[in-house]
Amino acid sequence: MKEFLRELTIQADNPGVSTGQNQWAGHGKVLESYSPVDGHCIANTQVASREDYDAVIRQAQVAFEVWRLKPAPLRGDIVRQMGQQFRQHKQALGQLVSYEMGKSLQEGLGEVQEIIDICDFAVGLSRQLYGLTMQSERPDHRMYEQWHPLGVVGIISAFNFPVAVWSWNAMIAWVCGDVCVWKPSEKTPLTGIACQNIIREVLRNNEVPEGVSCLVLGGREPGEWIASDARVALVSATGSTRMGKAVAEATGRRLGRCLLELGGNNAIIITPEADLAVAVPAIVFGAVGTAGQRCTSTRRLIVHEKIYEDLKQRLQKAYTQLRIGDPMEATHHVGPLIDQQAVDDYQAALETIKAQGGTFVIEPGTLTGSGYESGCYVRPCVAEVENHWDIVQRETFAPILYLIKYATLEEAIALQNGVPQGLSSAIFTLNMREAERFLSAAGSDCGIANVNIGTSGAEIGGAFGGEKETGGGRESGSDAWKTYMRRQTNTINFGHSLPLAQGITFEL
């Protein structure tokens, strides 16, 4: 067994259900986790049955009754202790993320660092869950608002960030007084078990009620149970737009709340006044990092016609330097796609690009032979296309970069906005007017808009999320915490009479 698996107590016949301190094997079918790095089966578990799921929700409801009454700074201190545990296990968990998901070890370690960072953020937040005081129109009255915990928060996470996105939700929800039920991707279940194992000692030492941190493993079904369950106050779902629409429909039918982080079709605009020495590394990392499997991956490159050929040549040179292989080796830039279905989607997209008239300036392909036995390794590629083509309008979770030419900034912004998704965007320019236009109300329509940095990656201090078919959700920093709480407006009459609204008199 690999040493990092031993450290995280990931073994065969892993439990598929956990309520924090306690865990047990689910009663559903066996779920095997295969590494896209080498194709080996890492471990297996039995997924949750409907009975398992209901038991978890009942336990979470009981835990909420206790957890919500603990002072927020105390909840924050428990999250601080969790952050310390993740610091101690950063190397091992980062290795597991890299091995089970296929991203580079540096990215795996960076993802664990995001957990640590959001723990630190949540600790400070636990003393800053502010409400407002408003002026009443009635004499001797005071109005103010306060925020209360929602209840059970369901977290449905995707394979590409198997632990970070869970932490963005869970750490904030916990300091807000909520309890969490996490359904990780069926493609990366072991990282979910590892996170529960890492924080278990903290939960026990602080006598945290069992059910504050729950884990339910499985595929589509547990996600559907969470989305349709009126006992779940908020459903935070990360994944495809198709999945997000199903979650929104299910929660909408019961008038529930949902927080959606869905697909991206992110573009970078390169103007004639861009510093290309800064732009090219951002483009390449955005396009090929995590093998193009980030929701913030750069999909489209919108380049001014004056510098189009120059930039194309720079990209061709940069792409020849990419090393593809085992992501746990530091010398490799690009690891595998998550599984064979992702490879099939990549190949189908290539055929569609050709059929619609696209030209590859950096050729695609799949890799076989020694070091590529899993069959999940592909070549990052670049294609010249038109923005309105169907294939360009869709998100393909693979390292395919579309190259598009423009003449005016207004045209470039229209191209950038001219897709159904609205997550991340960027412009490279040293012209202040161009930058400010891009950031104005007439500029990017995305939830994230950057100047002279790429589309990929975000700091936890800012609210993360996007518009249009990206779902409109916001996680992590800023005031995203309000999503996990309910607002209550309070009015206090400290006078000796009861003035009624709108001047109404009512005498007895």
249: domain CATH number is: 3.40.605.10
> Which positions ≥6 away from 432 have C-beta within 8 Å?
none
**Are 319 and 443 found together in one domain?**
yes
**Are 246 and 381 found together in one domain?**
no
Classified as helix, coil or strand, 313 is helix
195 inside domain: yes
**Are 370 and 224 found together in one domain?**
no
pLDDT number for residue 209: 96
CA quadruple 83, 88, 91, 94: dihedral positive or negative? negative
Q: Which helix (H) or strand (E) holds 448?
A: strand 448-451
233 inside domain: yes
CA distance 211 to 189: 19
**Are 479 and 378 found together in one domain?**
no
What is the per-residue pLDDT across 401-438, written as a single tens digit (0 to 9) for each? Answer: 999 999 999 999 999 999 999 999 999 999 999 999 99
Concatenated DSSP letters for 325-367?
Answer: S-TTSTT-SB---SSHHHHHHHHHHHHHHHHTT-EEEE---B-
463 inside domain: no
Domain count, the chain: 2
375 inside domain: yes
Q: Is 290 left (phi over 0), alpha (psi -120 to 50) or beta?
A: left
What is the per-residue pLDDT across 14-37, written as a single tens digit (0 to 9) for each? Answer: 677 888 877 767 788 889 999 999
**Are 161 and 282 found together in one domain?**
no
pLDDT number for residue 508: 64
**Are 228 and 316 found together in one domain?**
no
144 inside domain: yes
**Are 350 and 386 found together in one domain?**
yes
Concatenated DSSP letters for 88-111?
Answer: HTHHHHHHHHHHHH---HHHHHHH
310 lies in which domain range?
A: 266-451
**Are 113 and 20 found together in one domain?**
yes
- The DSSP output letter for 208 is P
495 inside domain: no
Classified as helix, coil or strand, 122 is helix
CA distance 405 to 417: 15
CA distance 150 to 40: 41
The b-or-e profile of 97-127 (16+ CB within 10 A means b, else e) is bbbbbbbbbbbbbebbbbbbbbbebbbebbe
pLDDT number for residue 457: 80
Alpha carbon dihedral 129, 20, 239, 446, in 10-degree steps, equals: 20
**Are 303 and 391 found together in one domain?**
yes
pLDDT number for residue 12: 47
371 inside domain: yes
10 Å CB burial of residue 345 (0-12, 13-18, 19+) is middle
Classified as helix, coil or strand, 48 is coil
Q: Give the CATH number, domain containing residue 302.
A: 3.40.309.10
138 inside domain: yes
**Are 48 and 173 found together in one domain?**
yes
CA distance 356 to 391: 8
Tens of pLDDT, residue by residue, the chain (508 residues): 588 988 997 754 567 788 887 776 778 888 999 999 999 999 988 899 999 999 999 999 999 999 999 999 999 999 999 999 999 999 999 999 999 999 999 999 999 999 999 999 999 999 999 999 999 999 999 999 999 999 999 999 999 999 999 999 999 999 999 999 999 999 999 999 999 999 999 999 999 999 999 999 999 999 999 999 999 999 999 999 999 999 999 999 999 999 999 999 999 999 999 999 999 999 999 999 999 999 999 999 999 999 999 999 999 999 999 999 999 999 999 999 999 999 999 999 999 999 999 999 999 999 999 999 999 999 999 999 999 999 999 999 999 999 999 999 999 999 999 999 999 999 999 999 999 999 999 999 999 999 999 999 889 999 999 999 999 999 999 999 999 999 999 999 999 998 877 777 766 6
Assessment of whether the complete model's pTM goes beyond 0.85 = yes
**Are 306 and 435 found together in one domain?**
yes
Q: Which helix (H) or strand (E) holds 409?
A: helix 409-417
pLDDT number for residue 141: 95
Q: Which residues are catalytic?
A: 261
**Are 154 and 16 found together in one domain?**
yes
